[in-house]
Amino acid sequence: MLHIPVLTKQVLQYLDPKPNENFVDATIGEGGHAIEILKKNEPKGLLLGIDLDSSQIENSRLTTKKFKERIILVNDSYLNLKKIIERENFGPVNGILLDLGMSSWQLEKSGRGFTFQKDEVLDMRYATDNELTAEKIVNKYPEKEIEKILSEYGQEKFTKQIAREIIKQRKVKKIKSTFDLVRIIEKTVPKKFQMGSIHCATRTFQALRIAVNKELDNLKEFLPQAFGMLAPKGRLVVISFHSLEDRVVKNFFKDIFEKGVVKILTKKPITADTNEVLANPKSRSAKLRDVIKS
C-alpha cells in the first residue's frame, strides 16, 4: 500500500520552505513530507530526518535517495531533538515538522500489531528495543492500571468492563495476538455500540499504543525543545490525530503565545478538505497547528 502523507499542501503553506533553508522532519516515516520540503529548499537547503523506527529510516533512505546529498537521517526519538541537532551540528533551523500519525507501512507491513484488522502479535512498539509491549500490559498489569490506560489514553466508554474481561481471559489463556484482544472487546462491548462509525476496538488499541510508546509524555517534552531550537522567524508545524495530542499542542502554543515569543498562524486547527479525505481516509482526523517564532 502506497503511503500518502497527510495535509501536504498545508504543510508547505505553513512551514513555508524557501531556497537554502534548513528543516527538521522529526517523524520522517517514509519521507513523503520530506521529499516535498527538499524540492522547495533547493539548491543548498538541508533536511534532518528523525524516526524512532529503524525500518522507517531505511524506508525513507530509499524514497529520498535522489536528495541524499542534502538529507541527514537519524534513527532516534524526537524526544532527543536538542541532542540530535547539536550532535549533527545542524542549523540554523528554519522550521520543524512533527507528524504524529502512523504510516501505512507500520499498519500494513510492520507485523507489530498496530491494527485490529490483522492477526498479529500484540507488540505496538515503534522502537523494538523498548522493553514494554502491548502484550505485557494486557497480561501483566493490574486491572486498575489497565482501566486507567484505557480511560486516559483511549477515552473508552467501557473501560471497566474491558479491563475486567481482560483479567478474566488471561487467567484462562495468555492474550497473545491482536485478534485475541479484539475477541475480548467484542465480547464485552454491547452489540449496539459495535455498529458505530469506528470499530469498537479502536480506542483500546489507541490507548495501548500510546502507553507502550509514552506518546503524550514525549510530545510534552518535545515541544519546548523544538521551540528552543528554532531560529528567529522559524516555524513549528505539528500534525496530530486525536484530541489528546491536539490538546497538548494547543495548550503549549497558547502558553508561549501569552509570553509574547510567537505568533500563532493557525487560530483553529487546519483540517483536510473533502477531496483529500476521499483520496486518503486517514487524513480525516488530522489536525495541523503552526507557530512562528518572534
- Residue-wise pLDDT for 66-92, tens only, equals 999 999 999 999 999 999 999 999 999
pLDDT at 4: 78
Q: Which residues contact 179 (CB under 8 A, 6 or more apart)?
A: 116, 119
Same structural domain for residues 120 and 98? Answer: no
Q: Is the domain of 101 the same as that of 225?
A: yes
Amino acid found at 174: K
Q: Are residues 117 and 262 in the same domain?
A: no
CATH number of the domain at 140, please.
1.10.150.170
Cell numbers for 146: 489497565
Q: Which of 159, 193, 213 is the last residue of a domain?
A: 213
Q: Which residue type is seen at 105?
A: W
Please enumerate in sequence order all residues whose Cβ is within 8 A of that of 89, keeping only pairs 6 or more positions apart, or say none: none
Alpha carbon of 78 to those of 64, 85, 194, 222, 271: distances in Å?
A: 20, 10, 36, 7, 24
Q: Which of 122, 124, 152 is nearest to 52 (CA)?
A: 124
The answer as to whether 250 is a domain residue is: yes
Residue 2 lies in a domain: no
Are 41 and 27 within one domain?
yes
- Domain shared by 74 and 199, yes or no: no
Give yes or no: residues 249 and 207 share one domain.
Answer: no
**Residue 240: CATH number of its domain:** 3.40.50.150
In a domain, 127, yes or no: yes
What residues make up the domain containing 151?
Answer: 109-213
Q: Are 185 and 146 part of one and the same domain?
A: yes
- The residues pairing with 239 across neighbouring beta strands, listed in sequence order, are 99, 288
Beta-bridged to residue 25, according to DSSP, are: 49, 97
Whether residue 126 sits in one domain with residue 185: yes
Q: Evaluate whether residue 72 is within a structural domain.
A: yes
3 in any annotated domain: no
Q: Which three cell numbers stand for residue 135?
A: 502484550
Task: Tell me whether residue 1 is in a domain.
Answer: no
The pLDDT value recorded for residue 91 is: 94
Helix (H) or strand (E) holding 265: none
Q: Is residue 236 part of a domain?
A: yes
Residue 249 lies in a domain: yes
Pairing between strand 287-293 and 262-264?
A: antiparallel
Q: What pLDDT is recorded for position 50? A: 97
Residues 6+ apart with CB under 8 A from 285: 241, 242
> Which letter does DSSP use for residue 193 in this model?
G
Give me 293's grid cell: 517564532
The residue out of 179, 213, 247 marking a domain boundary is 213
Number of domains in the chain: 2
| pLDDT per residue as tens, the chain (294 positions) | 456 789 999 999 999 999 999 999 999 999 999 999 999 999 999 999 999 989 899 999 999 999 999 999 999 999 999 999 999 999 999 999 999 987 777 777 888 999 998 999 999 999 888 999 999 999 999 999 999 999 999 999 999 999 999 999 999 999 999 999 999 999 999 887 776 778 899 999 999 999 999 999 999 999 999 999 999 999 999 999 999 999 999 999 999 999 999 999 999 999 999 999 899 888 899 999 999 999
Position 280 scores a pLDDT of 86
Q: Are residues 114 and 209 in the same domain?
A: yes
What's phi and psi for 194, nearest 5 deg? -90, -5
Of 180, 213, 246, which one is at a domain's C-terminal end? 213
Report pLDDT for 1.
44
Q: Determine the pLDDT at residue 194.
A: 74
In this structure, are 121 and 159 located in the same domain?
yes
Domain check: are 42 and 171 in the same one? no
DSSP-assigned letter for residue 39: H
**SS3 of residue 74 by DSSP:** strand
Domain check: are 123 and 83 in the same one?
Answer: no
